[in-house]
């Protein structure tokens, strides 16, 4: 995964880039009566496009003028540093263990105005414990002081407990579903698992849609 993943930058006039802007707009409308400042993006299984979807969504939100911090909370297979061509020497896990770093989040600037990325940092042996900790809540609070929106990339729901644990700390969860790859049963299981712990599932994103070639990302609020 490289910066070529960011079609909203490489080809902003394409139907796919427009689809991401539509996703952003739909989220803005769903936010009218809700406080959606911290959003978690996950998927049912691996390789379903969650990081690509999240990265392009973050770009479009930043392009609308909002200050965005994109957080790589996938502490098992982090990819956002590769997407944006950033170093991953210091990141989220360093904020967990070091109070001084917590006071000055090491979110890195990107080529997109208003968009910064907090990479994962060194991978820990206990990701779920870290994401569910009180310190993680403090980290999110610190980031919100510096951004209008905080978007988090988390591991797949059915693979590990990380996303479920972290979902209690966010305002909403977007579930990414890959057309032709994600099994309907798995998508429903992922949704049910999130709802079982009272996660606020605000919608699903169906990507890799090829039907009419007019768009490859579609947002649908409600049931899968």
Residue found by looking up tokens 């539509």 in the block = 22
Dihedrals phi, psi of 99, to nearest 5 degrees: -60, -35
The pLDDT of residue 31: 66
Residue 27: which of 221, 222, 209, 223 has the closest Cα?
221
For residue 191, give its domain range: 3-220
- DSSP, res 168: T
What is each CA distance from 50 to 32, 78, 96, 153, in whole angstroms? 25, 12, 24, 7
Write down the pTM of the prediction.
Answer: 0.89
Q: Provide the mean pLDDT of the chain.
A: 88
Q: What is the pLDDT of residues 78-101, one digit of tens each?
A: 999 999 999 999 999 999 999 899
Q: Residue 211 pLDDT > 70, yes or no?
A: no
Average pLDDT over residues 109-132: 96
Structural domain count of the chain: 1
Mapping DSSP onto H, E and C, the string for 84-120 reads: CCCCCCCCHHHHHHCHHHHCCCCCEECCCCCEEEECC
What the block records as the tokens of 10 is: 């490489």
Of the ranges 18-32, 55-69, 156-170, 201-215, the best mean pLDDT one: 55-69
Q: Residue 209 pLDDT > 90, yes or no?
A: no
Domain CATH for 81 = 3.40.50.300
Residue 154: which of 143, 140, 164, 168 has the closest Cα?
164
Is residue 220 very low, low, confident or very high in pLDDT (cuts 50, 70, 90)? low
Average pLDDT over residues 150-163: 93
Neighbours of 22 (CB within 10 A): 15
The pLDDT of residue 27: 86
The pLDDT of residue 29: 80
Determine how β-strand 38-43 pairs with β-strand 172-178: parallel
């Amino acid at each position: 995964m490289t910066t070529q993943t960011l079609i909203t930058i490489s080809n902003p006039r394409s139907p796919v880039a427009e689809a991401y802007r539509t996703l952003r707009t739909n989220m803005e409308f769903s936010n009218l009566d809700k406080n959606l400042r911290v959003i978690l993006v996950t998927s049912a299984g691996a390789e379903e496009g969650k990081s690509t979807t999240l990265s392009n969504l973050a770009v479009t939100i930043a392009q609308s003028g909002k200050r965005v911090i994109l957080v790589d909370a996938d502490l098992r297979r982090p990819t956002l540093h590769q997407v944006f061509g950033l170093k991953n020497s210091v990141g989220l896990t360093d904020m967990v263990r070091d109070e001084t770093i917590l006071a000055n989040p090491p979110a890195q600037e990107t080529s997109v105005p208003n968009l910064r990325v907090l990479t994962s940092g060194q991978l820990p042996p206990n990701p779920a414990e870290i994401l569910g900790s009180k310190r993680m809540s403090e980290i999110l609070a610190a980031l919100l002081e510096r951004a209008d929106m905080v978007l988090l990339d988390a591991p797949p729901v059915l693979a590990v407990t990380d996303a479920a644990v972290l979902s209690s700390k966010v305002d909403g969860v977007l579930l990414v579903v890959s057309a032709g790859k994600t099994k309907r049963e798995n998508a429903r299981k992922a949704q049910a698992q999130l709802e079982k712990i009272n996660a606020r599932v605000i919608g699903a994103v169906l990507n890799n849609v090829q039907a009419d070639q007019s768009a490859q990302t579609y947002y649908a609020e409600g049931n899968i």
